[in-house]
């Protein structure tokens, strides 16, 4: 039995999707950041950085999205090429691209004021958006190679992680000019549209209140900015 600590549509979303895809038993512990839940000593004991997500496992609490996803994939033998598979190396490379490049950049177009304050935020957002488009173009090229772990046929932790980041890149940028046009990346669009149609993913999107408000919360979410 796992306990996932999170906030709906925050970084816990991808772990939620992975747990549901695996069919693991878990409880979702909802945090309320506006009530200071991330700063409580009891939460900092689970994640000293006070960030979402945290997964409590039989071996103890884990934080950092990529570590949690790889742990689940390896422990359950699902959602990733096996450690000795020929495609494991390429899969790990693109998992790292998501965690070290795409994830921070998506967060930066959503919160550009965090780097230099309000004065520099437009310049930060513009520059980051250009870089984000480059990364999406590279991902698109890789997806067109047809590896199963980056395809519409079968989910992997790479496709789940990418789907969450692409959702945010369409729904949450600070500026409308930076809404990612997913149709420009047809292979990526096909992957997230296929994920959205899977029953385990649909259950998570419904539980997190995302599908009540829109038909395609991953492939064509509503813009939530001003």
Ligand X SMILES: N[C@@H](CCC(=O)N[C@@H](CS)C(=O)NCC(=O)O)C(=O)O
**Residue ranges binding ligand X (CB under 6 A):** 10-11, 33, 38, 51-52, 64-65
Q: Which residues of 140-175 are buried (b: 16+ CB within 10 A; e: fewer)?
A: eebbeeeeebbbbeebbbbbbbbbbbbbbbbbbbbe
Residues in the chain, how many? 226
Rounded to 5, what percent of the chain is helix, strand, coil? 60, 10, 35
Residues in CB range of 147: below 8 A, 6 or more apart? 87, 90, 91
* Smaller CB separation from ligand X, 23 or 35: 35
Q: Which among 106, 18, 104, 103 has a CA at the least distance from the CA of 62?
A: 18
Q: Are 30 and 8 in contact (CB under 8 A)?
A: yes
* Smaller CB separation from ligand X, 70 or 188: 70
- State in angstroms the smallest separation of the CB of 66 from ligand X: 6
- State in angstroms the smallest separation of the CB of 186 from ligand X: 27
Residues in CB range of 57: below 8 A, 6 or more apart? 2, 71
- State in angstroms the smallest separation of the CB of 155 from ligand X: 19
- State in angstroms the smallest separation of the CB of 19 from ligand X: 15
- Strand 26-30 and strand 2-6: pairing? parallel
- State in angstroms the smallest separation of the CB of 130 from ligand X: 22
* Smaller CB separation from ligand X, 38 or 195: 38
* Smaller CB separation from ligand X, 125 or 152: 125
What does the alpha-carbon distance between residue 182 and residue 193 come to, in Å, rounded to a whole number? 11
* Smaller CB separation from ligand X, 82 or 96: 96
* Smaller CB separation from ligand X, 4 or 152: 4
- State in angstroms the smallest separation of the CB of 57 from ligand X: 15
């Amino acid at each position: 039995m796992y306990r996932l600590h999170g906030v709906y549509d925050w970084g816990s979303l991808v772990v939620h999707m992975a747990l549901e895809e695996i069919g693991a038993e878990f409880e979702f512990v909802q945090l309320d950041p506006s009530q200071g839940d991330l700063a409580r000593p009891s939460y900092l004991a689970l994640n000293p950085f006070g960030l979402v997500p945290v997964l409590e496992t039989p071996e103890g609490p884990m934080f950092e999205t990529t570590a949690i996803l790889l742990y689940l994939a390896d422990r359950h033998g699902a959602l990733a090429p096996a450690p000795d598979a020929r495609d494991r190396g390429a899969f790990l490379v693109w998992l790292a691209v998501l965690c070290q490049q795409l994830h921070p950049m998506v967060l930066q177009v959503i919160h550009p004021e965090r780097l230099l304050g309000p004065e520099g935020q437009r310049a930060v957002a513009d520059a980051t958006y250009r870089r984000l488009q480059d990364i999406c173009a590279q991902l698109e090229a890789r997806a067109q190679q047809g590896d199963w772990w980056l395809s519409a046929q079968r989910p992997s932790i790479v496709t789940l992680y990418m789907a969450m980041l692409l959702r945010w890149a369409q729904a949450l940028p600070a500026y409308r000019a930076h809404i990612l046009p997913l149709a420009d990346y047809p292979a990526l669009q096909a992957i997230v549209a296929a994920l959205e149609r899977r029953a385990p993913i649909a259950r998570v999107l419904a539980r997190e209140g995302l599908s009540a408000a829109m038909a395609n919360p991953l492939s064509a979410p509503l813009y939530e900015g001003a």
